[in-house]
Copies of this chain bind each other. A is one copy, B any other.
């Protein structure tokens, strides 16, 4: 039997709790030794109920525990870079939720600390582990569609987040589209060279007043010559719309939305199928387990993680380029941001 990997979780909000429960239910060889959250009191009962004994209010207690090999950073975005640096310095392997930061320099500092420490680092782009998108990726990689020519991503939320969240979200391109920027990199096997953004406030004027947009078309040019386009909306009346297409010299591959069942009801009113699964927790349920499986495997077998630090940096650069393009009304090269 394999050794136990002892981990600590930093941040016990929605995503921290989700990871904790996924670990308890799915990984016999992983033990959550401790969890830290600024509101330690509030999570104690929940933590105990799933068998986590140590609940701290200060994440440093986790970093100081020599038995803990790896940490999951699930705290608020503005702490990701700092905690990554601290954890790397403490020699812990790191699974960090996206994005690392909105500031490129802070990301680079964090990645530099990781590199120096030689610890494993994985960023939480869970959609790469989704059964549909992984299948598209695999078919493209096997050459089934030939050379990619056009990559398309449709990504629409079932409803806009609260305005208070919008204000601190980093804007739609870093909060929502960032997943799509990761997706086009994953599917195309190439880097984005240039973006052009058309965007508007069509869902809710309050989003505009908060300085953000809620509807966008982002046109992309890849280093390998392929073109791409992402369309986003903060609110699709019919629910969470998550589709992609890769079109190439030999054909195309598309995926459609997942639903709770394949039931089709035919009546006088029409032929009615189910709406998409509600939102990302339902839609990407299995992917959250799958990404951790790969992270723990990388630790156990001392192999590379499937989503690296560079994969954490690039989508932020593209997101910043997308915003700049919108603000300046012109195409923006990603290297302009890096410079």
Using a CB–CB distance below 8 Å, which chain A residues touch chain B? 1, 25-26, 28, 49-50, 131-132, 134-136, 139, 144-147, 149-150, 152, 156, 194, 196, 198-200, 202-203, 215-217, 219-221, 225-229, 231, 233, 235-238, 241, 247, 249-258, 260-275, 329-331
Q: Which of B147, B149, B238, B274 contacts A251 (CB 8 A)?
A: B238
By Cβ-Cβ distance, the 6 closest A-B pairs, closest first, are A251-B267, A238-B266, A135-B261, A135-B263, A271-B273, A270-B272
Given A227-B216, A331-B196: A255 and B251 within 8 A (CB)? Answer: no
Whole-angstrom distance between the Cβ of A207 and the nearest chain B Cβ: 13
A49 neighbours in B (Cβ, 8 Å) = 1, 28
Q: Which of A50, A145, A263 has the most chain B CB atoms closer than 10 A to its own CB?
A: A263
Q: What is the bound-complex CA distance between A326 and B273, given in angstroms? A: 36
Tell me the nearest residue of chain B to A26, going by C-beta. Answer: B25
Q: Give the number of copies in the complex.
A: 4
Tell me the nearest residue of chain B to A259, going by C-beta. Answer: B271
A200 neighbours in B (Cβ, 8 Å) = 149, 221, 225-227
30 contacts between A and B (CB under 8 A): A1-B49, A25-B25, A132-B262, A134-B261, A139-B263, A139-B265, A149-B233, A150-B217, A150-B231, A194-B198, A200-B225, A202-B226, A217-B219, A229-B229, A236-B251, A236-B266, A237-B249, A238-B251, A238-B252, A238-B270, A250-B268, A251-B265, A252-B265, A255-B261, A255-B262, A256-B262, A266-B275, A269-B272, A271-B275, A272-B272
Q: What is the bound-complex CA distance between A223 and B21, given in angstroms? A: 47
Whole-angstrom distance between the Cβ of A194 and the nearest chain B Cβ: 8
Q: Is the CB of A250 within 8 A of B237?
A: yes
Q: Which of B198, B221, B262 contacts A198 (CB 8 A)?
A: B221
Whole-angstrom distance between the Cβ of A16 and the nearest chain B Cβ: 19
Given A251-B238, A251-B267, A262-B258: A229 and B227 within 8 A (CB)? Answer: no
Q: A150-B215, A238-B251, A252-B266 are in contact. List 10 more A-B contacts (CB 8 A).
A: A25-B26, A131-B260, A145-B265, A198-B221, A217-B229, A238-B252, A251-B265, A253-B263, A256-B262, A258-B262
